[in-house]
Amino acid sequence: MPSWERIKEDFPIFHNLGSGYTYLDSAATSQKPLFVINAISDFYLYHNSNVHRGIYRLSEEATEMYDRSRENVSRFIGSRDPGQIVFVRNATEGLNLLSYTLGREMAQGDEILITIMEHHSNIVPWQFLQDRGIKLVYADIRPDGTLDMDDLQSKMSPRTRIVSVTHVSNVLGTVNPVREIGKMAHDNGSTFIVDGAQSVPHMPVDVEAMGCDFMAFSGHKMLGPTGIGVLYGRKELLERMHPFMGGGEMISEVYRDYSTWAEVPEKFEAGTPDIAGAIGLSAAVDYLRSMGMDNVMKHGRDLIRLTLEMEEEENIPGLVSYGPRDTEIRGPVYSFSIGDISPFSVNQTLSEDGIGVGASIHPHDVASSLDASGIAVRSGHHCAMPLTHRLNTVATTRASYYIYNTEEDVRKLFRSLKRTAEVYSR
C-alpha cells in the first residue's frame, strides 16, 4: 500500500506552492509527478523528431516510444489490441469523433440515449445531430443521485442507435453500473459508449470486461499532460467507420479525386500527433500502475467516506450535498451548496418561524473564501448544466480528491467551511 502522506513529495508543484496548499480540483485536472514531467522533457531533450516518417535513427526512436505508449495505455485499460487505442486531444475530442463518424450512419428518427448527469462533452456533440432529425433522449436520476435504471430501460427503443453514459459523474461522483447498462444496450442492438474521463484515473477499468464499444478519456486528469486523450474503440467498429479528420498520416494513397485510408488507429490520427503527450501519458500510466489501481480507488473512497462523516459531524447550517452516500458507488467528488442559492432567494435561509438558520452563500463566494485559506475548489455548473438544473440549483461548489490528498486535507476543508459559514451568517 503506498504511503499516501508522502506522495505529495513526488509532485514538484506542491514544493513550489508550499506544503500547506490544498488542491481539491483534480476532477478538473490533476497535478503532475516529476516522473511524468521528466518523461516529457527526456523526449524533447534526447529523442525529439516526427513519427512514422523518417528513415533515420532518431525518428525510429520517437516512433518506437510513441508506439510503446499506445501499447502501455492499451494494457492499462484491458484492451487486447493497441490498434484499438486512438490518440486524441481529450475525452471531448473522442466523443466529437464518435458523433461525427457514427452520426454519418444515422437516419432521421434515430435516437441517442444519454443521461441527465452527463458532462457537456457527452451532450453537445450529440445535439449537433438534431438538425438531421436525430433525437436526443435523457435518462433521469433517482433522488439519491444514482441513475434511474428503470427510466433508462424504458427509454430504449428500436430506434436507439447509441447509448452513451458517463462511468463516473463529475458532479455527483456516482459510479454507474456500466456493465449492466452495456448489456441492456447490446440486447437492444445499440452501440454502447462510455465516458471514462472520471473513472480511468481513479479505479481499475477493463474495457473488455465492461463490454463497451467505445470509451473516451483524458490524460490530464490522470497525472498526464494536457493535450492528449484516448478514444478506445472495438477494432471491427473502428475499421468500418469513416475517418474524422483528413490530412497526413491518416491516408494510404491520395489521388486528385479520392483517397484511401491508413489502417486503424492511424486512420483516425490525422496530422502530427502529440508525441510527447502520449509519452507523458504512458509515464502517468506507469506511475499509477506502480501504486495499484485498487489502492488508488480505495484511497478515494476513504477520503469520500471521511468527507461524508465530517459533513454529519460538523452539521454546517444550510449545507446540502449531492450524490450517493454509499461509498462503494461513489468516486472522490464532493459537490455541495450552502443555503438556497436560487436566483429568487433572499440571502438568509429561514426556518419556519422566520429565524435565520444559516447564510445562503454563493458557490463562487465559498470558493473564494476557501482560496483565502489555501484550498483550491471549483464552483459553478461543472460543465453539466442540465444536471445542475435537475438538482434545482444554479451552481455548486465541488471538492475533488486524488492520490496526493490526505485526511488532513478533508479536515482542513471542513474547518474552513465552518469558518466561512460563520462569517456569512453574522
Q: Which is nearer to ligand PMP, 361 or 395 (CB)?
A: 395
x/- mask, ligand PMP, residues 101-120, rule CB under 6 A, reads ------------------x-
Q: Scanning residues 379 to 408, which ones bind ligand PMP (CB under 6 A)?
A: 383
Residue of 26, 101, 191, 218 interacting with ligand PMP (CB under 6 A): 218
Q: Alpha-carbon distance 413 to 335, whole Å?
A: 13
Q: Is 102 within 8 Å of 191 (Cβ atoms)?
A: yes
Residue 212 among the catalytic residues = no
**Omega before 265 within 30 of 0, i.e. cis:** yes
- Strand, coil or helix: what is 145? coil
Residue of 63, 69, 115, 121 interacting with ligand PMP (CB under 6 A): 121
Residues 6+ apart with CB under 8 A from 62: 43, 47, 48, 49, 50, 51, 275
Residue of 74, 198, 360, 369 interacting with ligand PMP (CB under 6 A): 198
Which part of the chain contacts ligand PMP (CB under 6 A), choosing from 5-13, 147-155, 172-180, 193-201? 193-201
Query: Which member of 203, 308, 383, 395 is catalytic?
Result: 383
Q: Which is nearer to ligand PMP, 175 or 421 (CB)?
A: 175
90 touches ligand PMP (CB under 6 A): yes
Residue of 146, 170, 321, 420 interacting with ligand PMP (CB under 6 A): 170
316 touches ligand PMP (CB under 6 A): no
Q: Retrieve residue 360's grid coordinates.
A: 445562503
Q: Alpha-carbon distance 354 to 346, whole Å?
A: 12
Q: Alpha-carbon distance 281 to 300, whole Å?
A: 21
The alpha carbon dihedral of 383, 385, 386, 390 has a sign of positive
Q: Alpha-carbon distance 26 to 400, whole Å?
A: 6
Q: Retrieve residue 151's grid coordinates.
A: 427510466
Q: Retrieve residue 33's grid coordinates.
A: 509527478
Q: What is the pairing mode between strands 191-195 and 214-218?
A: parallel
- Quote the least distance from Cβ 119 to ligand PMP, whole Å: 4
- Quote the least distance from Cβ 105 to ligand PMP, whole Å: 23
Q: Is 321 within 8 Å of 304 (Cβ atoms)?
A: no
425 touches ligand PMP (CB under 6 A): no
Count of residues engaged in binding ligand PMP, rule: CB under 6 A: 13
- Quote the least distance from Cβ 29 to ligand PMP, whole Å: 8
Q: Is 48 within 8 Å of 30 (Cβ atoms)?
A: no
Q: Alpha-carbon distance 398 to 380, whole Å?
A: 8
- Quote the least distance from Cβ 387 to ligand PMP, whole Å: 11
32 touches ligand PMP (CB under 6 A): no
Binding site for ligand PMP (CB under 6 A): 27, 90-92, 119, 121, 166, 170, 195, 197-198, 218, 383
Write out the catalytic residue numbers.
Answer: 383
